[in-house]
A and B are shown apart, each in its own frame.
Chain A
Amino acid sequence: MSNGRTSNQALPLPAWGVRLESRKIAAETGPINKMPPPGELIVALKQNVGVPAEPIVQPGDRVLKGQPIATAPRWGLGVAVHAPTSGTVTALEERPIPGAGGGTGESVVIEPDSKEERYAGYVAQPNPLGLSPPQIRNDITEAGIVGLGGALFPTATKLNPGSGIQALILNGVECEPYISADNALLIERSDQVLLGAAVMLRALDCDECLVAVKADMAEARAAVQEAIDALGDDRISMVVVPAFYPAGGERQLIELITGKEVQAGGLPWDVGVVCQNVGTVAAVAKFFGAGEPLISRIVTVTGNGVGAPANVEVMIGTPIGDLVEFAGGYTDAAAGLVMGGPMMGFSLPHDQLPVTKATNCILVADQAELDPSVREMPCIRCGECARACPATLMPQQLLALARGPDYAALESQGLQDCIECGCCDYVCPSYIPLTSRFIEAKQGLWENHLVAQRSERALHRYEARGKRLERRERDRSNELQRQVDEIGAAGEIDAEALRQLKQRVKSKKPGDNT
């Protein structure tokens, strides 16, 4: 792990990944703007990996800012959801929710009043570092905190890996071009991030925290360094990673910093590391330091189709249309909406979808950003994609197998380990959209698995039933044999009497009671 303290020297560049032109300038130069409550908030109940939260409010209820409106089920990685501001619940219904599936989700719709009246149930902790680790984890679940890098994995779960954690890595790398929300957060609120880090170190019972920032984020690096110096906690240091993509992927970042590879199907804590996005850490600090659960987040609104690109602190549930309006509105060039960055984001059908805890960027793209208007050509087997792949897969091979699709081979070639980063698309000289093919193939692989699982279970039950019927039959004949033996053992029945008895039983007609 890192020897010595903070160094401003960037780590060496790995063999994989691609260098992308940064497009952050537009948004990152300004301060974080706070957006006032919109006319309507649509708060989805499922904003985490796992089961949705269970609503505890009814239409017509008045809610306060930060009040829980849905609680975490005790199983299935649930986390709570809160009212982003004070107002009235107008509906509890299915609403369209952004997500790769494009479906709807049960949501609490709130009409905000302008009072921003606070819920009194949560207060600032005077000494959060004095809490016990289980208490900290409980509070984090209660505060509705999930991974804000976009994965939405419940944060408390990641803080409960058992023992043996050597380092907590705070991921502030943000390698997607265009996105600068974490960058802005580090510039303005590094002290908050470090407070959250201290709480997390306590929960993990761990003594080393590395704040990872990217080499080209000069201002953020200075801010982090300043905050570390001011805090004087020598457990926390900064590590600078080179500016390339996807340096901010969890597994990639861990490999860069520790040199250890998280195995396929494994988790970071297998190599003694827990990785948290800096926004998530700041949300933890906000709950313990100010008693505010996760009800807002920083979103980068950028692209050539928006009037005034900016980082906006916005309430969860704000319709994306209102958010774009706040950031200067659409320009004439606006041609499409993307949630997330250009490499891993997905396009949105319209702007009446709400901001969720996963929304780190809204890219209002112009025609050029949206469609490079190049035609896909055949694969020439140049191998560029294999060089770029951060998961050390062979995309050209996977592409050929996905055409079949040969699921067994795709699986043995590691399709599940594809992190869908888009590096192969970027370097492909034939402009083949490899990543979208892989996403499709993953779906097929998943369905295939389900069918195989069902079939295996059916076979198991069928065989178990066969054995049961056999056993029943055996027991029955054993019992019959036992009875016969018993009669035989009595020994006193003479053969003629037995014959007569059998005769009588035979001649007996059904229903005859004599």
Chain B
Amino acid sequence: MVAGLLLLALLTGLLGLVLVVSARRIPADAITVVDRLDSVLPHTQCGRCGYSGCRPYAAAIAAGEADINQCPPGGDEVIVALSQLLGRPAKALDESFGLAGPPIVAVVDEDICIGCARCLDACPVDAILGAAKFSHTVIENECTGCELCIPACPVDCITVTENTSQLDARAAH
């Protein structure tokens, strides 16, 4: 009886020690909440949520500063994914940040483009190809449809259209 109690006490103490040491020595999981939230966002980097990109928005959600329904390009799917990650109820998109819609891409009207190269700097994913005094063009497959190039253009030659490249890829499949 006494021996048994002593043995249990000893075991408890030893295992406790192991846990304490390992908690101090082994670093915590490198994947943070922000990483996981960031991974479900659409990475259009459009900034419509009010933050400078997807990752800052993820950080703001993690810090409790932003709500989960501020991402128009992600739509309901992203809201549901975020709500599952956070264990919160899903809610409707806050339309003051913009409306959800089909995937879009930017198109440069090459007849109007003056080659000022300003949209090149505005594009968060380097999807516009061009050089000063040469007409620019959008790499359709890389454009996320963030629309950040539109206000940058001094001659308003950039418009957006529905992105059909996904459908084409499917047909080729």
Query: Which B residues touch A450, using CB under 8 A?
Result: 166, 169-170
Q: Is A259 an interface residue (CB 8 A)?
A: no
For the complex, what is the distance from the CA of A103 to the CA of B170, rounded to whole Å?
A: 13
Are A461 and B166 in contact (CB-based, < 8 A)?
Answer: no
Q: Is A447 an interface residue (CB 8 A)?
A: yes
Are B127 and A461 in contact (CB-based, < 8 A)?
Answer: yes
How many A residues, CB 8 Å from partner? Answer: 17
Query: Which A residues touch B142, using CB under 8 A?
Result: 457-458, 461
Q: Is A464 an interface residue (CB 8 A)?
A: yes
Query: Which A residues touch B83, using CB under 8 A?
Result: none
Q: Is A455 an interface residue (CB 8 A)?
A: yes
For the complex, what is the distance from the CA of A455 to the CA of B125, rounded to whole Å?
A: 11
Are B54 and A446 in contact (CB-based, < 8 A)?
Answer: no
Q: In the complex, what residue of chain A is closest to B127 when comparing beta carbons?
A: A461
Q: Is B173 an interface residue (CB 8 A)?
A: yes
For the complex, what is the distance from the CA of A446 to the CA of B144, rounded to whole Å?
A: 19
Q: Is B45 an interface residue (CB 8 A)?
A: yes
Taking the nearest CB of chain B, how far is it from the CB of A479, in angstroms?
20
Q: Is B72 an interface residue (CB 8 A)?
A: no
Query: Which B residues touch A456, using CB under 8 A?
Result: 43
Query: Which B residues touch A465, using CB under 8 A?
Result: 124-126
Query: Which A residues touch B41, using CB under 8 A?
Result: 455
For the complex, what is the distance from the CA of A464 to the CA of B126, rounded to whole Å?
A: 9
Query: Which A residues touch B144, using CB under 8 A?
Result: 454, 458
For the complex, what is the distance from the CA of A456 to the CA of B40, rounded to whole Å?
A: 10
Q: Is B130 an interface residue (CB 8 A)?
A: no
Within 8 A of A (CB), among B126-162: 126-127, 142, 144
Query: Which A residues touch B169, using CB under 8 A?
Result: 450
Q: Is A101 an interface residue (CB 8 A)?
A: yes
Binary contact readout A450-490 vs B (1 if CB under 8 angstroms, 0 otherwise): 11001111110110110000000000000000000000000
Are B126 and A458 in contact (CB-based, < 8 A)?
Answer: no
How many B residues, CB 8 Å from partner? Answer: 18
Most buried by B among A101, A103, A451, A459: A459
Q: In the complex, what residue of chain B is closest to A101 when comparing beta carbons?
A: B171
Query: Which single member of A101, A446, A458 contacts B125 (CB below 8 Å)?
Result: A458
For the complex, what is the distance from the CA of A239 to the CA of B44, rounded to whole Å?
A: 56
Q: In the complex, what residue of chain B is closest to A458 when comparing beta carbons?
A: B43
Are A447 and B43 in contact (CB-based, < 8 A)?
Answer: no
Within 8 A of B (CB), among A419-455: 443, 446-447, 450-451, 454-455
For the complex, what is the distance from the CA of A454 to the CA of B143, rounded to whole Å?
A: 9
For the complex, what is the distance from the CA of A461 to the CA of B45, rounded to whole Å?
A: 11
Q: In the complex, what residue of chain A is closest to B143 when comparing beta carbons?
A: A458
Q: In the complex, what residue of chain B is closest to A103 when comparing beta carbons?
A: B171
Q: In the complex, what residue of chain B is closest to A76 when comparing beta carbons?
A: B172
Binary contact readout A101-118 vs B (1 if CB under 8 angstroms, 0 otherwise): 101000000000000000
Query: Which A residues touch B54, using CB under 8 A?
Result: 459, 462
Are B44 and A458 in contact (CB-based, < 8 A)?
Answer: yes
Query: Which A residues touch B166, using CB under 8 A?
Result: 447, 450-451, 454
Are A462 and B170 in contact (CB-based, < 8 A)?
Answer: no
Binary contact readout B106-140 vs A (1 if CB under 8 angstroms, 0 otherwise): 00000000000000000011110000000000000
Query: Which A residues touch B124, using CB under 8 A?
Result: 462, 465
For the complex, what is the distance from the CA of A465 to the CA of B166, rounded to whole Å?
A: 24
Q: In the complex, what residue of chain A is closest to B163 when comparing beta carbons?
A: A454
For the complex, what is the distance from the CA of A450 to the CA of B163, rounded to whole Å?
A: 13
Are B42 and A455 in contact (CB-based, < 8 A)?
Answer: yes
Query: Which B residues touch A457, using CB under 8 A?
Result: 142
For the complex, what is the distance from the CA of A101 to the CA of B168, rounded to whole Å?
A: 12
For the complex, what is the distance from the CA of A450 to the CA of B43, rounded to whole Å?
A: 14
Are B126 and A461 in contact (CB-based, < 8 A)?
Answer: yes
Are B173 and A458 in contact (CB-based, < 8 A)?
Answer: no
Are B43 and A446 in contact (CB-based, < 8 A)?
Answer: no
For the complex, what is the distance from the CA of A307 to the CA of B43, rounded to whole Å?
A: 60
Q: In the complex, what residue of chain B is closest to A469 when comparing beta carbons?
A: B121
Query: Which A residues touch B127, using CB under 8 A?
Result: 461
Taking the nearest CB of chain A, how far is it from the CB of B130, in angstroms?
15
Binary contact readout A73-110 vs B (1 if CB under 8 angstroms, 0 otherwise): 00000000000000000000000000001010000000
Binary contact readout B49-61 vs A (1 if CB under 8 angstroms, 0 otherwise): 0000110000000
Query: Which A residues touch B173, using CB under 8 A?
Result: 446
Taking the nearest CB of chain B, how far is it from the CB of A445, in angstroms?
12
Query: Which B residues touch A459, using CB under 8 A?
Result: 43, 54
Q: In the complex, what residue of chain B is closest to A468 when comparing beta carbons?
A: B126
Query: Which single member of B44, B45, B170 contacts A446 (CB below 8 Å)?
Result: B170
Query: Which B residues touch A462, using CB under 8 A?
Result: 43, 45, 53-54, 124-125
Taking the nearest CB of chain A, how far is it from the CB of B114, in angstroms?
24
Q: In the complex, what residue of chain B is closest to A465 when comparing beta carbons?
A: B126
For the complex, what is the distance from the CA of A514 to the CA of B32, rounded to whole Å?
A: 57
Taking the nearest CB of chain B, how far is it from the CB of A206, in angstroms?
31
For the complex, what is the distance from the CA of A446 to the CA of B172, rounded to whole Å?
A: 12
Are A461 and B125 in contact (CB-based, < 8 A)?
Answer: yes
Q: In the complex, what residue of chain A is closest to B45 when comparing beta carbons?
A: A462
For the complex, what is the distance from the CA of A461 to the CA of B171, rounded to whole Å?
A: 26
For the complex, what is the distance from the CA of A446 to the CA of B171, rounded to whole Å?
A: 11
Within 8 A of A (CB), among B28-82: 41-45, 53-54
For the complex, what is the distance from the CA of A456 to the CA of B45, rounded to whole Å?
A: 12
Most buried by B among A103, A454, A464: A454
Contact sample, A vs B, 20 pairs, CB 8 Å cutoff:
A101-B171, A103-B171, A446-B173, A450-B170, A451-B166, A454-B144, A455-B41, A455-B42, A455-B43, A456-B43, A458-B42, A458-B43, A458-B44, A458-B45, A459-B54, A461-B126, A462-B43, A462-B45, A462-B53, A465-B124
Residue numbers of B with Cβ under 8 A of A are 41-45, 53-54, 124-127, 142, 144, 166, 169-171, 173
Known: A458-B142, A462-B43, A465-B124. 10 other contacts (CB 8 A): A451-B42, A455-B42, A457-B142, A458-B42, A458-B45, A458-B125, A459-B43, A459-B54, A462-B45, A462-B125
Nearest first, the 10 closest Cβ-Cβ pairs linking A and B are: A461-B125, A458-B43, A459-B43, A455-B43, A458-B144, A462-B45, A458-B125, A465-B126, A450-B166, A462-B125
